[in-house]
């Protein structure tokens, strides 16, 4: 009986153990089945992209591919070699080369140094050679790309290289043109209208950044009308966040239609020259006339008005009653210049040229430079608070005449006396006049002995109380001769008379 009980207890334990194993296996199988079904369901699930969104993205991608196909063949790589010669350095009259295996080196011997440069360019014109002669292609690029290169080579999109010749260059606009000959039928860049470019437009840069040929980057137009380019560049630039790096200079900035709207020229960077989304391009409209002049004459001619312009500060704007006005102030004028012949005088505030609004000094400089010598144009000015129109016949700009300070009238930059100036000079509160900020060397003002920090108290005996009276007296009483009364430190003095 005890044996039976023991057997029954043992059988019951085994039965429970088997039952537990079956249950565990069933649960495990069920779990695996459910997990497998879930994984299979995930594998069978399809990500659905809205068809309209996909179509828009594919259309945009197609557009960019078409732009690449259209523009890349017309953008080339420029490789330059500059050769300069320098005297071999010496130590106590003995050339350094004497110490390094060249005892025949003579004093005064020169060594040749070769440096290589890299940039981009745009094929803009073709002149057919006729018959079996190759065609001549003209490439627009930046002045700083070719510089003083003695050797220039053009590399096409397919890597083929040709020797090139410098046709002309212009440092003021940072433009240059080279040519090369080729028997193949190469595509020309399509030039757009940069005057229609607006902030937010697509902007695509094509060039050879860091030597990576035929690179294409994309962004938008960040701003237009930017000024202050390097080395006195007078262009009003298109700003873009499109990635631009060294080697892009001279390459194309194009719109969504594949039309060239700018020439990539410089970047602003805090990372040692790398792109940080601040790229600047010369508007193509600034270069269109230059293309013809480079090909026809090899140089650029500029219109000349004969004035020195400034963007007046707040104190001068208030003193001339120009609040809310946009334009450029004529601070100096060249005697005998087109400006003087046309009636423009120092103190005139130019607001428009041929009816087009003037936004500032740099823009007006560019507008005048693009005028043709001999052209008669209309200037809208504000003088003594009243508007008037003056007609001027533009002449050709000469670097020699533009640098002739002896004719720059009156040759002194003045500003109202502020509390800061009065305190720094310890001026008596009763002293009225204008503070001399700068005197131009060899100008009439310099000849009369004016100096920086002088206070002009009168002109030709008439009191100068503010900036408006300063320019009015210059116009009305200084046509033939002029002299100034000055406060210099604790002394008062009168300048010699200057006859115009």
Q: What is the pLDDT of residues 409-426, one digit of tens each?
A: 999 999 999 999 999 998
Coil, helix or strand at residue 391? strand
What whole-number distance in Å separates Cα of residue 353 and Cα of residue 383? Answer: 16
Percent of the chain's residues with pLDDT above 70: 85
- Average confidence (pLDDT) over 97-101: 55
What per-residue confidence (pLDDT) applies to 234?
86
pLDDT(452) > 90? yes
Whether 249 shows a pLDDT value over 80: the answer reads yes
Whole-number pLDDT of residue 296? 94
Q: Say whether pLDDT at 9 is over 60.
A: no
Instruction: Assign 202 a pLDDT band (cuts: 50, 70, 90).
Output: very high
Q: CA end-to-end span of the chain, whole Å? A: 148
pLDDT at 22: 53
Quick: pLDDT tens for 29-63: 555 555 555 555 555 567 788 999 899 999 999 99
Residue 485 structure tokens: 């009364």
From 74, 120, 194, 249, active-site residue: 249
Q: Residue 343 burial (CB < 10 Å; 0-12/13-18/19+)? A: middle
Q: How many helices (H) and strands (E) does the chain have?
A: 11, 31
Lowest mean pLDDT among 6-20, 33-47, 481-495: 6-20
pLDDT at 208 over 60: yes
Whole-number Å distance between alpha carbons of 68 and 258: 8
- pLDDT tops 70 at residue 7: no
Higher per-residue confidence, 28 vs 389: 389
**Reduced to 3 states, what is the DSSP secondary structure of residue 239?**
strand
Residue 178 has pLDDT above 70, yes or no: yes
The span from the CA of 220 to the CA of 242, in Å, is 6
Is position 249 annotated as part of the catalytic site? yes
Helix (H, G, I), strand (E, B) or coil at 313: coil
Number of CB atoms found within 10 A of residue 93's CB: 6
CB neighbourhood size of 25 (10 A): 10
Domains identified in the chain and CATH numbers: 71-88+110-182 (2.40.10.10), 194-297 (2.40.10.10), 303-405 (2.30.42.10), 410-499 (2.30.42.10)
Is residue 171 scored above 50 in pLDDT? Answer: yes
**pTM reported for the whole predicted model:** 0.78
Q: How far is CA 73 from CA 158, 182, 331, 475, in A?
A: 8, 14, 48, 58
Residue-averaged pLDDT of the chain: 87
Contacts of 64 (CB under 8 A, 6+ apart): 204, 216, 218
Query: Which position among 144, 194, 215, 466 bears the catalytic label?
Result: 144
Of the candidates 174, 236, 348, 485, the residue annotated as catalytic is: 174
361: three-class secondary structure by DSSP: helix
Percent of the chain residues topping a pLDDT of 90 = 69
143 catalytic? Reply is no
pLDDT of residue 8: 47
Q: What is the pLDDT of residue 1?
A: 40
Contact present, 213 and 159 (Cβ < 8 Å): yes
How confident is the model over 72-82, as pLDDT tens digits? 999 999 999 98
Confidence bin at 398 (pLDDT 50/70/90): confident
Phi (first) and psi of residue 53, to 5 degrees: -65, -40
Residue 60 parent element (H or E): helix 51-71
Task: Tell me what pLDDT residue 86 has.
Answer: 72
- Residue 174 is among the residues annotated as catalytic for this protein: yes
Residue 321 has what pLDDT?
93
For position 379, what pLDDT does the model report?
98
Of 213 and 93, more confident: 213
Per-residue pLDDT at 266 = 92
């Amino acid at each position: 009986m005890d044996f039976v009980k023991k057997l029954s207890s043992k059988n019951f334990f085994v039965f429970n153990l088997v039952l537990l194993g079956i249950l565990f296996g069933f649960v495990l199988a069920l779990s695996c089945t459910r997990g497998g079904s879930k994984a299979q369901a995930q594998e069978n699930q399809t990500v659905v992209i809205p068809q309209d969104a996909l179509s828009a993205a594919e259309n945009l991608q197609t557009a960019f591919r078409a732009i690449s196909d259209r523009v890349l063949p017309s953008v080339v790589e420029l490789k330059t070699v500059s050769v300069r010669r320098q005297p071999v350095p010496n130590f106590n009259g003995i050339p350094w080369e004497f110490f390094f295996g060249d005892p025949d080196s003579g004093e005064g011997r020169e060594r040749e140094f070769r440096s290589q440069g890299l940039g981009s360019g745009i094929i803009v014109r073709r002149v057919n050679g006729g018959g079996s002669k190759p065609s001549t292609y003209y490439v627009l690029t930046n002045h700083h790309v070719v510089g003083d290169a003695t050797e220039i080579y053009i590399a096409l999109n397919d890597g083929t290289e040709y020797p090139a010749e410098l046709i002309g260059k212009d440092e003021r606009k940072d433009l240059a043109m080279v040519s090369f000959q080729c028997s193949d039928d190469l595509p020309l860049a399509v030039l757009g209208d940069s005057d229609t470019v607006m902030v937010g437009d697509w902007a695509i840069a094509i060039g050879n950044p860091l030597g990576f040929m035929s690179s294409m980057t994309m962004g938008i137009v960040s701003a237009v009308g930017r000024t202050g380019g390097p080395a006195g560049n007078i262009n009003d630039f298109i700003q873009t966040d499109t990635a631009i790096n060294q080697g892009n200079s001279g390459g194309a900035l194009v719109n969504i239609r594949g039309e060239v709207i700018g020439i990539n020229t410089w970047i602003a960077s805090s990372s040692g020259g790398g792109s940080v989304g601040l790229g600047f391009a010369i508007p193509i409209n600034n270069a269109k006339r230059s293309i013809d002049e480079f090909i026809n004459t090899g140089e650029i001619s500029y219109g000349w008005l004969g004035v020195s312009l400034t963007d007046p500060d707040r104190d001068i704007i208030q003193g001339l009653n120009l609040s809310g006005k946009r334009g450029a102030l004529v601070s100096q004028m060249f005697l005998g210049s087109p400006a003087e012949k046309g009636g423009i005088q120092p103190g005139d505030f130019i607001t428009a040229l041929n009816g087009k609004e003037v936004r500032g000094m740099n823009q007006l400089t560019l507008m005048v430079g693009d005028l043709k010598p001999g052209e008669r144009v209309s200037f809208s000015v504000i003088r003594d608070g009243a508007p008037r129109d003056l007609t001027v016949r533009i002449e050709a700009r000469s670097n020699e005449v533009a640098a002739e300070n002896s004719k720059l009238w009156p040759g002194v930059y003045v500003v109202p006396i502020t509390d800061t100036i009065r305190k720094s000079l310890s001026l008596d509160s009763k002293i009225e006049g204008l503070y001399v900020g700068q005197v131009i060397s060899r100008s009439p003002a310099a000849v009369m002995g004016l100096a920086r920090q002088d206070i002009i108290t009168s002109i030709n005996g008439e009191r100068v109380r503010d900036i408006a009276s300063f320019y009015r007296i210059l116009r009305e009483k200084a046509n033939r001769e002029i002299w100034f009364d000055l406060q210099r430190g604790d002394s008062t003095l009168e300048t010699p008379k200057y006859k115009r």
